[in-house]
């Protein structure tokens, strides 16, 4: 049982008494260590197979653990998920504790949430239903009752999809309806098991007599409710082994917290602690980057990071590639994948990982165009998504009966026609705040808007019918049977997997970290998410980003701050050069310049303001400030926009005036789109007059350049 284990793994395998905490970095062989530990204990006669319960978080992980234990001669050990173990106990003890049969477990909560919304007279669309359901699930796993939801959500900095009071009302009504109908949900399985074990000491003792030794994998992902269940299983005993890595905590939005792992030695002062840091998965070059990412991290999890040591032969250095636009980035990834296939890397050993599922379409298309087989993991194919199918039906109807559609009366070109049609499906010029289903739906529709713009640029004069035919062709090409090919997956769904070659794409500000990550804790979780992505690679690792969304777009995106000091040519300071300038777009307005600054060009009546995207003459003041129609897509640097908003709030507080008196939202958007390099470029932006340029100009330019500003007004 101990042959082939390294010294630290062997220490884990032989630590069979008392509480044990295994801090295991990515690729360090934790599953091997804990399965050999169980099997060694069984072979040595210290552990009885039927008295051991090993719990983890996915059926796949539990199945893998059972398979390994069988191979090691410990077939009688129970390896289950928390829910599977709890359900088994609940089914067995329910007649004794409550009487009768266990209530039916509902497959989907959505219908009950729909009924709860109707009872509360609250209208929810399909995506709000999904997000409210997620909030109910989060509340239950964090043991939050409806009355405490608003305070708990605020403390956790959650982006509530509706007013917290409404969600609390929906949550309470949802629980009432379940009771009336005599059904339970997935989270109730854990809650009811906890309730029975708390209230019935005889049943708790019966469970403890059955299971005398516990092993918990991925302990950093335990929710408060799962931790409570584990404590009830244990009772006053300490025969527990936990395994985890705080640096891989990426599911806090579901209620997971690394606090139980980090506090283990406080709860169990005499615990044996073993650190696994020998990385058998990744090359020294990949491990060096992974360690560098965590070295810059902050917070409690960062204080307990593990410094990995690669046990593999040297491999190629990670590749960092900057592309002009997203299509070029997708084509570049496809081209590099063809090179890997040519040297014998199997397609199943290659993965493209992205931050959001909405990014998949352009990579699906690039691989399909290159004849490279692929499979999508953890998400629907782009053209299979309900909102995309529904949007396709709307576009097809508009193409057929467009002459009778009032939405299209003012749409003079293909992109504006598509925006007009999709506005009826929920697309808006600005994305919704926060994450969740509403944001994901918007991202899918925005991808169709962007696709229409690119299609029109590539084929001037194309009609809506031409675009519909293009969409059908793309959908048909991607409805081919699933094959064993290159994996396309989000970073979250890639957890626990590994490949010979990994492409991390879209690693730019606004996507990594994601725009709606605002607090320090949220930013650090985004860093950990990138760390998980890096550590999926065994040998080949490619990291890329695009300067603009579409060909010819403003190149104002920046590589992720997480790469500062790690990629060649970067430093660890906040300031970074902004690629590109104003793209040759003249931004003029009538006004005077500040003393000592370059005068802003005056717009004459002979040069009317025109949208820089679609060319339409602008008349609204807000549109003239942005130099584009409200409905036209923006290439705004969203990370910069959020930093400007935070700075503006401080200035408004100092001056005791409303935030819009510093700069309006439109002006901040215009600044975030232009990313000015100097006072001349800043002065060109409508809304930046001589007085504001003098008072705030240096601070705004510092923020645009990524430098820190302090105090009131301009940069310290």
227 confidence band (pLDDT: 50, 70, 90): very high
289: Cβ–Cβ under 8 A, 6 or more apart, which residues? 318, 534, 541, 566
179: Cβ–Cβ under 8 A, 6 or more apart, which residues? none
pLDDT digits (tens, 9 = 90+) for 617-644: 655 555 655 667 666 666 777 788 888 8
| Mean pLDDT, residues 127-147 taken together | 89
Task: Tell me how far apart the alpha carbons of residues 482 and 603 are, in angstroms, rounded to a whole number.
Answer: 57
DSSP string, 335-357: HHHHHHHHTT--GGGEEEEESSG
369 confidence band (pLDDT: 50, 70, 90): confident
> Above 80 in pLDDT, residue 615?
no
- Give the CA count within 13 Å in the CB-facing half-sphere of 301: 29
> Above 50 in pLDDT, residue 92?
yes
pLDDT for 460: 82
Largest interatomic CA distance in the chain: 93
Encode burial over 85-95: b for 16+ CB neighbours within 10 A, e otherwise.
bbbebbeebbe
pLDDT for 322: 94
| Mean pLDDT, residues 649-677 taken together | 80
Q: How many beta carbons lie within 10 A of that of residue 100, not counting itself?
A: 8
pTM of the model: 0.66
Q: What are phi and psi of 388, to 5 degrees?
A: -75, -40
- The residue ranges of DSSP E strands in 329-474, in sequence order, are 350-354, 374-377
- The residue ranges of DSSP E strands in 39-86, in sequence order, are 52-56, 78-81
609 confidence band (pLDDT: 50, 70, 90): low
Mean pLDDT value across the chain = 82
Q: How many beta carbons lie within 10 A of that of residue 313, not counting itself?
A: 8
585 confidence band (pLDDT: 50, 70, 90): very low
Bridge partner residues of 55 (DSSP): 80, 216
Q: How many beta carbons lie within 10 A of that of residue 412, not counting itself?
A: 12
pLDDT digits (tens, 9 = 90+) for 464-476: 888 888 787 666 6
CA end-to-end span of the chain, whole Å?
A: 63
List the one residue out of 397, 400, 401, 403 whose CA is nearest residue 422: 397
- Tokens representing 484 are 């064993």
Give the helix ranges, DSSP H, for 54-163. 59-71, 82-97, 110-120, 126-141, 149-155
Considering only residues 579 and 18, tell me which one the structure prediction assigns the higher pLDDT: 18
């Amino acid at each position: 049982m101990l042959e082939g284990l390294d010294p630290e793994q062997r220490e884990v395998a032989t630590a069979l008494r008392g509480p044990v905490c295994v801090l295991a970095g990515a690729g360090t062989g934790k599953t091997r260590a804990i399965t050999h530990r169980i099997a060694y204990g069984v072979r040595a006669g210290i552990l009885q197979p039927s008295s051991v319960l090993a719990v983890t978080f996915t059926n796949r992980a539990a199945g893998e653990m059972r398979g390994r234990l069988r191979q090691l001669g410990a077939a009688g050990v129970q390896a289950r998920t928390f829910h599977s173990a709890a359900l088994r106990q609940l089914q067995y003890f329910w007649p004794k504790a409550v009487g009768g049969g266990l209530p039916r477990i509902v497959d989907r909560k959505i219908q009950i949430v729909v009924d709860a919304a109707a009872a509360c007279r609250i209208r929810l669309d399909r995506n709000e239903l999904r997000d409210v359901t997620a909030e109910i699930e989060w509340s239950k796993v964090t043991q939050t009752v409806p009355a405490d939801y608003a305070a708990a959500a605020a403390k956790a900095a959650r982006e509530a999809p509706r007013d917290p009071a409404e969600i609390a009302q929906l949550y309470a009504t949802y629980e009432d309806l379940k009771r009336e109908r005599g059904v339970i949900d997935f989270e109730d399985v854990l809650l009811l098991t906890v309730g029975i074990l708390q209230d019935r000491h005889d049943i708790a003792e019966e469970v403890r007599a059955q299971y005398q030794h516990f092993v918990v994998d991925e302990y950093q992902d335990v929710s408060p409710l799962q931790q409570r269940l584990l404590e009830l299983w244990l009772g006053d005993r300490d025969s527990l082994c936990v395994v985890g890595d705080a640096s891989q905590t990426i599911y806090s939005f579901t209620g997971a917290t690394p606090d139980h792992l980090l506090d283990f030695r406080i709860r169990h002062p005499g615990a044996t602690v073993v650190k696994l840091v020998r990385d058998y998965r990744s090359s020294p070059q990949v491990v060096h980057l992974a360690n560098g990412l965590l070295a810059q991290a902050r917070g409690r999890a960062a204080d307990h990071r593990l410094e990995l040591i690669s046990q593999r032969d040297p491999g190629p250095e990670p590749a960092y590639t900057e592309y002009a636009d997203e299509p070029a980035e997708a084509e570049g990834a496809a081209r590099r994948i063809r090179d890997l296939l040519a040297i014998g890397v199997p397609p199943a050993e290659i993965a493209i990982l992205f931050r959001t599922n909405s990014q998949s379409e352009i990579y699906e298309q690039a691989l399909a165009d290159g004849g490279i087989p692929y499979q999508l993991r953890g998400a629907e194919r782009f053209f299979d998504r309900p909102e995309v199918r529904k949007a396709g039906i709307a576009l097809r109807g508009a193409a057929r009966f467009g002459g009778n559609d009032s939405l299209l009366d003012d749409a003079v070109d293909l992109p504006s026609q598509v925006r007009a049609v999709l506005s009826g499906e929920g697309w808006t010029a600005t994305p919704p705040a926060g994450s969740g289903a509403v944001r994901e739906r918007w991202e899918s529709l925005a991808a169709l808007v962007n696709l229409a713009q690119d299609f029109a640029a590539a084929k001037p004069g194309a009609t809506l019918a031409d675009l519909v035919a293009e969409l059908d062709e793309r959908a048909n090409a991607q409805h081919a049977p699933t094959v064993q090919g290159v994996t396309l997956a989000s970073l979250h769904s890639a957890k626990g997997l590994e490949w010979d070659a990994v492409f991390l794409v879209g690693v730019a500000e606004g996507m990594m970290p994601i725009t709606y990550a605002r607090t320090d804790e949220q930013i650090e979780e985004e860093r950990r998410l990138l760390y998980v992505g890096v550590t999926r690679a065994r040998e080949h690792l490619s990291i890329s980003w695009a300067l603009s969304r579409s060909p010819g777009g403003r190149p104002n995106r920046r590589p992720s701050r997480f790469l500062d000091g790690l990629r060649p040519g970067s430093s660890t300071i906040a300031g970074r050069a902004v690629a590109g300038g104003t793209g040759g777009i003249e931004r003029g307005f009538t006004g005077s310049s500040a003393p000592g600054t370059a005068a802003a060009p005056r717009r004459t009546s002979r040069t009317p303001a025109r949208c820089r995207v679609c060319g339409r003459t602008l008349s609204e003041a807000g549109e003239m400030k942005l130099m584009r129609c409200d409905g036209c897509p923006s290439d705004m640097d969203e990370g910069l926009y959020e930093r400007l908003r935070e700075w503006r709030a401080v200035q408004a507080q100092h001056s005791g005036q409303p935030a819009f008196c510093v700069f309006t939202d439109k002006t901040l958007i215009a600044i975030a789109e232009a990313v000015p390099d100097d006072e001349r470029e800043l002065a060109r932006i409508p809304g930046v007059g001589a007085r504001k340029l003098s008072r705030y100009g240096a601070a705004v330019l510092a923020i645009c350049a990524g430098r820190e500003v302090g105090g009131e007004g301009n940069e310290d």
